Amino acid sequence: MTLLPPPHRYEYEGSGPAIYVDSFATIRAETDLTGVPADAEKVAVRMIHGTGQTDLVKDLVIHPGLAGAARTALETGAPIFTDAHMVASGVTRARLPRENDVICMLRDERVPGLATAWGTTRSAAAVSLWGDRLEGALVAIGNAPTALFHLLELIADGGPRPAAIVGVPVGFIGAAESKEALASFAADTGINVPFVTVHGRRGGSAMAASAVNALAQEKE
């Protein structure tokens, strides 16, 4: 196999680091970040980066304690629980301060049986398998509204409390409602868990991973 670079037919930036720098500068030039907590600005920027849409900022809801709580948790070795393998795949391991575990339980052999028995999705059933390690962990939900609803129900019911929740399931059925439940969870239950979410239908695995990658370290 010949490994030759193709002749450049197109003009484009080929330096990975330069692309990141230019991308973040473009986002900052085009986005009004005044409503974002100062220590979570890079979280907003990276979430916008992952979607290609600066107007995401108007739908973002970031708890003022999010960045501090998530970073402290990761720096003390807390695991990251995700609802989807895509989210776990998007977490840049080199950014994690303590080689933190990144865990998705969706393929656990108990999941299909629990989902059937409980009349819920496999994504939601898998949340119950996070168990006591959920206490103090960082949660990132980017796919399933049912997983976010199930998590909030577990916490409200006296279960383990995560340090922070990235809650951005995407889609047309239940996604917006699950994110509203997250945004109003402290008011509804008196339980104050720092979070980031997005009003409406937008979200997704890439957005969830982007938020985690921003929370993992200060360096952009």
Using DSSP's 3-state secondary structure scheme, residue 219 falls into coil
Q: How far apart are CA 60 and CA 34, in angstroms?
A: 12
**Of 71 and 96, CB closest to its own copies:** 96
Contact with its own copies (CB under 8 A) among 65, 114, 161, 217: 114
**Of 71 and 203, CB closest to its own copies:** 203
* Shortest CB 204 distance to its own copies, Å: 5
Q: Which residues pair with 197 in a beta bridge?
A: 61, 167
Size of the site for its own copies (CB under 8 A): 71
Q: How far apart are CA 168 and CA 120, in angstroms?
A: 19
Site for its own copies in 140-159 (CB under 8 A): 145-146, 149-150, 152-154, 156-157, 159
- Starting at the edge strand that comes first in sequence, how are the strands of the sheet with 164-167 ordered? 60-62, 195-198, 164-167, 138-141, 80-82, 102-104
Work out whether 217 is an interface residue with its own copies (CB under 8 A).
no
Nearest to 196, CA basis, from 178, 187, 208: 208
Contact with its own copies (CB under 8 A) among 32, 109, 172, 219: 172
What's the one-letter identity of residue 94?
A
Task: Judge whether 49 counts as a catalytic residue.
Answer: yes
Site for its own copies in 54-83 (CB under 8 A): none
Work out whether 85 is an interface residue with its own copies (CB under 8 A).
yes
Q: Which residues pair with 137 in a beta bridge?
A: none
Work out whether 190 is an interface residue with its own copies (CB under 8 A).
no
The two structure tokens encoding residue 169: 């399931």
**Of 69 and 127, CB closest to its own copies:** 127
* Shortest CB 13 distance to its own copies, Å: 6
Part in contact with its own copies (CB under 8 A); list of ranges 36-44, 61-69, 72-80, 169-177: 169-177
* Shortest CB 53 distance to its own copies, Å: 7
Q: Which of 8, 49, 85, 150 is catalytic?
A: 49
**Of 34 and 52, CB closest to its own copies:** 52
What is the CB neighbour count within 10 angstroms for residue 156? 14
Q: How far apart are CA 157 and CA 186, in angstroms?
A: 14
* Shortest CB 208 distance to its own copies, Å: 10
Question: Sign (positive/negative) of CA torsion 141, 146, 148, 151?
Answer: negative
Are 179 and 207 spatial neighbours (Cβ–Cβ below 8 Å)?
no
Site for its own copies in 3-22 (CB under 8 A): 3-10, 12-16, 19, 22
Residues involved in catalysis: 49
